[in-house]
Structure 1
Amino acid sequence: MLTVDFDRLGVRAGDRVLDLGCGAGRHAFELYRRGAHVVALDMDAAELENVAAMFAAMRDAGEAPADATAETVPGDALDLPFPDGSFDHVVAAEILEHVPRDERAIAELTRVVRPGGTVAVTVPRWWPELVCWALSTEYHEVEGGHVRIYRGDALLAKLRRAGLRPFHRHHAHALHSPYWWLKCAVGVNRDDHPLPGLYHKMLVWDIMRRPWLTRTAERLLNPVLGKSLAIYLRKPVTAADGSAGAGAATRDRDGERVARGA
């Protein structure tokens, strides 16, 4: 289940991509399949071990191009272990809501993407998340849980202050919002309750089969009910960056117009 649209982000085979706070690796695996040079970073050693094992299994099964690479790196979003401009793209999916010093993390991901490169940031959408917090303290008051609820404009302002320029945004996973409301209503740790259990089975069926009916329903509902907000941004090319090209600067200006019209 992907939140980021990699075509929108502009990922091509051979690009170097950081999956920041990769978690279980869902975005990193798709990037690897697309032929990118993927670096999956997380603070959770157990998660990284599982992600590394999956990378190895994908290599053995021929699920990624032979010239693609994938590695795991333990690290902190507040102090990334990479030089400036190391990546063509950075993905930060459902991570900033966990970070108390989010502006520091935003500054770091901006630093490591090259001028002209792109960034995708996704967070839980404000109003579906607000419902979850209202229904359950267990949902967010756990170690490593969500520390804030983002309004889209407030997040955009932080990303702009870091020097990034938005060019598109969308919402995703509308069918998942009711599932989390049910979980919060009956107890997030009540795995035995039939209501969220049945809904979860439907979600798994949808992910595996991708039937026309539910895919169409989610696409139509995403603008209203989408669980996640995804924002796509570009790091501008400046005169100090040399000859990265007028074309990149033009794309930045176009991106600004798209973002304001969204």
Structure 2
Amino acid sequence: MLTIDYDRLDVRPGHTVLDLGCGEGRHAFEAYRRGASVVAVDWGRSEVETTQRWLGAIAAAGEAPVGASATAVRGDLLHLPVPSGSVDRVIASEVLEHVPDDAAAFAEVARVLKPGGRVAVTVPRYGPERVCWALSDAYHANEGGHIRIYRQAEVRERLAAAGLVPGSSHHAHALHAPYWWLKCAVGVDRTPAPVRAYHRLLVWDLVARPWVTRTAEKVLDPVIGKSLVVYATKPW
């Protein structure tokens, strides 16, 4: 399940791509398959190990073009393990809402980007996220949980303050917003029948990509899309 639009980010073969807060690697995998040299970064050991394992499976299956490379490493978003001005593209998906000093994280993104390089930042959208917070403290108030809710203007301000030029934006994953509202309403650690049924719908959508759910999400994304995506460029 991808949140960013790789065509808008303009990921090309040979690009160096940094995937920050990679989780289990979903965005790193796509960049790798597109021929990039990918460094996936996360603080969690299990996340890094899982991502590295799947990157190896992609290579073994011949799904990565010749010349592409990928690795997963442990790293701190406030002290990224790459030189200044060395990265063509940065992906920071659903991670900045976890970082206390997000201004420093945005500054690190700007530091590592080459002039003309681009970043895609995704965060939970204000409206759907506010509903989740209202329904459940357990959803966000835990170790490593969400510590803030961004409005789009705030994301753009953070990017500009770091010396980047904000560009286009969009929303994604509208079908996931009601799922999380339901989870928060019944308890995030509980999985009663309605939650299981909705989860099966999401899995079906992910695997089969049927026109009915794809059309519904396209229509609903501007209204209740759970994620906000903003693209920005580092000036020459």
Q: TM-score range by the shorter chain?
A: over 0.9
- Paired residues for 1:47-62 under 5 Å: 47-62=47-62
Tell me the amino acid that sits aligned with residue 209 of structure 1. A
CA shift, 1:171, in A, is 0.4
Q: Does 1:202 align with 2:198?
A: no
Q: Distance in 2 between matches of 1:202 and 1:9?
A: 29
Give per-residue Cα distances to partners, 1:43-96, cap 9 Å, x unaligned.
Answer: 001110111111111111101112100011211001112111110000000000
Shift of 1:128: 0.2
Partner of 1:75: 75
Residue 228 of structure 1 aligns with which residue? 227
State the match for 1:85 in structure 2: 85
Q: 1-side partners of 2:140 and 2:86: how far apart?
A: 33
- 1:213 aligned residue: 212
Pair 1:181-2:155 in alignment: no
Q: What pairs up with 1:28-177 in 2 under 5 angstroms?
A: 28-177=28-177
Give the SS at the match of 2:76.
coil
**Counterpart amino acid of residue 216 in structure 2:** A
What are the ranges of 5 or more consecutive residues in structure 2 without an aligned counterpart?
none
Deviations 1:148-195 (A, max 9, x none): 01111112111111111112000000000000000000000002x111
Give the whole-Å Cα distance in 2 for the aligned partners of 1:161 and 1:18.
21
Aligned partner of residue 218 in structure 1, secondary structure = helix
Give the 4+ runs in structure 1 shifted more than 3 A. Answer: none
How far apart, CA to CA, are the structure 2 residues paired with 1:65 and 1:30?
12
SS at match of 2:116: strand
Q: TM-score, normalized by length of structure 2?
A: 0.99
> SS of 2:49's equivalent?
helix
Which one has the largest radius of gyration? 1
Across the aligned residues of Structure 1 and Structure 2, the Cα RMSD in angstroms comes to: 0.6
Q: Distance in 1 between matches of 2:60 and 2:96?
A: 33
Superposed CA deviations along residues 79-135 of structure 1, whole A, max 9, x for unmatched, are 112111110000000000000100000000110010001000000000100000000
Structure 1, unpaired ranges of 5+ = 238-262
Q: Secondary structure at the match of 2:178?
A: helix
- Rounded to whole Å, the distance in 2 between the matches of 1:10 and 1:232 is 11
Q: Secondary structure at the match of 2:88?
A: strand
Aligned amino acid, residue 231 of structure 1: V
CA distance in 1, matches of 2:135, 2:67: 48
In the alignment, the residues of structure 2 paired with residue 86 and residue 73 of structure 1 have an alpha-carbon distance, to the nearest angstrom, of 17
The secondary structure found in structure 2 opposite 1:38 is strand
SS of the residue aligned with 1:79? coil
Shift, 1:142, TM fit: 1.2
| Matched AA of 2:198 | Y
Q: CA deviation at 1:12?
A: 0.4
Give the match's secondary structure for 1:206: helix
